[in-house]
Structure 1
Amino acid sequence: MPTTTIEGHHIQVDAEGFMTDPMEWSEDLAKALAAQIGIELTDEHWKAIKFVRQDFADQGETATLRRMSVVGEIPTKQLFALFPQKPAKKLAYVAGLPKPRGCV
C-alpha cells in the first residue's frame, strides 16, 4: 500500500490519495489536507468533519452526500459551499476517511 508524507505525517493512502487507516488522522493533518485542496477550515467545516468521522465509526463506511445532509443535518447547499464541486469526496479526504462508495 502506498504511503505519503504530508507536513511530517507519514500516512497510508490508496491510489487516489485517500487515507486507508482513519486512525492515522489528526486535526493537524486535517488542516494540512484541507490546505492542499485550497480550503481553510472553519467551525462549520469541523462540524461536518466530526459528523462524518463519527458516522464512519458507527456505520463502518464513509457517509454519502445524502446521508451527510439527512442524518448529519448539514444542508446540501452548505456542503457545496464548504467543500466546492465534490463535497462528499473532499470532506472524506480531509476527514481521513475512504472515498465514499456512492455519490448520493
Structure 2
Amino acid sequence: MPTTTIDGHEIHVDAEGFMTDPEEWTEVLGKSLAHQIGIELTDEHWRAIRFLRSDFHEQGETATLRRISVVGGIPTKQLFELFPQKPAKKLAYVAGLPKPHGCV
C-alpha cells in the first residue's frame, strides 16, 4: 500500500491519494489536505467534515452527497460552495476517508 508524507507524517493512501486508514487522520492533517486543494476551512467546513467522519464510523463507508444533505442536514448547494466542483470527493479527501462509492 502506498504512503505519502504530509507535514512530516507518513500516511497510507490509495492510488488517487485518498487516505486508506482513517485513524491516521487528525484535524491538523485535515487543514493541510484542504490547503493542498485550495480550501481554507471555516466552521461550516468543519461541520461537514465532522458529520462525514462520524457517519463513516457508524456506517462503515463514506457517505454520498445525498446522504450528507439528507442525514447531515447540509444542503447540496452549500456543499458545492464549500467544496467546489466535486464536493463529495473533496470532502472525503479532506476528512481522511475513502472516496465515496459512485464518485469518478
TM-score by length of 1: 0.98
- Does residue 102 (structure 1) correspond to residue 102 (structure 2)? The answer is yes
Q: What are the equivalent positions in structure 2 for 1:63-102 lying under 5 Å apart?
A: 63-102=63-102
Number of matched residues? 103
> In the aligned structure 1, how far is the partner of 2:86 from the partner of 2:41?
16
Amino acid at match of 1:80: F
How many Å apart are 1:73 and its aligned residue? Answer: 0.4
Q: Which runs of 5+ in 2 are unaligned?
A: none
Q: Deviations over 1:19-44 (max 9, x none)?
A: 00000000000000000000000000
The ranges of structure 1 where at least 4 consecutive aligned residues each deviate by more than 2 angstroms after the TM superposition are: none
How many Å apart are 1:12 and its aligned residue? Answer: 0.1
TM-score by length of 2: 0.98
> In the aligned structure 2, how far is the partner of 1:82 from the partner of 1:90?
10
Q: Which runs of 5+ in 1 are unaligned?
A: none
Amino acid at match of 1:65: L
Paired residue secondary structure (2:89): helix
RMSD: 0.5
The aligned residue for residue 57 of structure 1 is: 57
Percent of matched pairs sharing the same residue: 82
> In the aligned structure 2, how far is the partner of 1:9 from the partner of 1:37?
18
The aligned residue for residue 26 of structure 2 is: 26
